């Protein structure tokens, strides 16, 4: 039972354009959502998070949007840069429980 | 400060064998969790230890086990290896709770690549 789903295994975006990565979840108990970025041969690194009491959180070029009614969150990267090419994982949690990760989306930024 | 260290980085084992992977968390971090990453499955939670006690466990068979020592270092063991156990095993540490939120952030190691042949 995949509680957190990233339905797009890959995404290709032109440099300078907006990258939008999507994530859906099924568990309405989730109250915190996070995005991690992973380069090959490295562990995932924390990127940005959002609490369920908010619908938007911004950090520089990265913005996460949360639509609780649709159980959907998205990560926007503007403008996209070649260094953003990586695998992006969304994750969710509730209480002091474990993080549940999605399958990941491989983002490729083309020059 | 030193990051999360995992050893070995790469290993090849034969079906039926067992393997032990090691993780040294960031100094001062007491929570260590383990994840399995396979293509198409993303990061799947194995278990989490805090102060030598397993606090959370994922949906993996009993062949997967772990422990944490008094210095917070952790090991995970997989017995009777199967081909499907081939994966990247990631360790993550955090100050306290497993969450990457509420003031805590979890930090991942580079992982141990296990290939079962």
Query: And the tokens for B74?
Result: 């952790």
pLDDT at B1: 55
Strands A32-38 and A86-93: antiparallel
Taking a C-beta distance cutoff of 8 angstroms, is the pair A92, A68 a contact? no
Contact A80, A18 (CB under 8 A): yes
A9/B35 Cβ within 8 A: no
Average confidence (pLDDT) over B41-50: 89
The predicted pLDDT at position B10 comes to: 96
The confidence score (pLDDT) of residue B39 equals 77
Kindly tell me if the per-residue pLDDT of A17 is higher than 80: yes
Instruction: Give chain A positions within 8 Å (CB) of B90.
Output: 43-44
Question: How much is the pLDDT for B34?
Answer: 95
CA distance B64 to B100: 24
Per-residue model confidence (pLDDT) at position B33: 92
What pLDDT was estimated at residue A42?
Answer: 87
Question: For residue B115, what pLDDT band results from cuts at 50, 70 and 90?
Answer: very high
Chain A nearest CA to B95, separation (Å): 13
């Amino acid at each position: 039972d995949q509680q957190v789903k990233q339905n797009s295994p890959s995404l290709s975006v032109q440099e300078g354009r907006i990258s939008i990565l999507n994530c859906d979840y099924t568990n309405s108990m989730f109250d915190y959502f996070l995005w991690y970025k992973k380069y090959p041969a490295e562990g995932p690194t924390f990127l940005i998070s959002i609490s369920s009491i908010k619908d938007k959180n911004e950090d520089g070029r990265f913005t996460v949007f949360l639509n609780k009614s649709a159980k959907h969150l998205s990560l926007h990267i503007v403008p996209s840069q070649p260094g953003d090419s990586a695998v992006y994982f969304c994750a969710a949690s509730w209480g002091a429980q474990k993080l549940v990760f999605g399958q990941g989306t491989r983002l490729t930024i083309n020059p | 400060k030193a990051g999360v260290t995992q050893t070995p980085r790469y290993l090849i084992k034969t079906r039926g064998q067992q393997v032990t992977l090691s993780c040294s968390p960031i100094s001062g971090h007491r929570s260590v969790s383990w994840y399995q990453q396979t293509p198409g499955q993303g990061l799947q939670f194995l278990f989490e230890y805090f102060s030598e006690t397993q606090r959370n466990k994922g949906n993996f068979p009993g062949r997967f086990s772990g422990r944490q020592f008094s210095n917070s270092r952790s090991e995970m063991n997989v017995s009777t290896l199967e081909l499907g156990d081939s994966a990247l095993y990631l360790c993550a540490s955090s100050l306290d709770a497993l969450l990457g939120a509420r003031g805590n952030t979890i930090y991942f190691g580079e992982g141990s690549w296990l290939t079962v042949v």
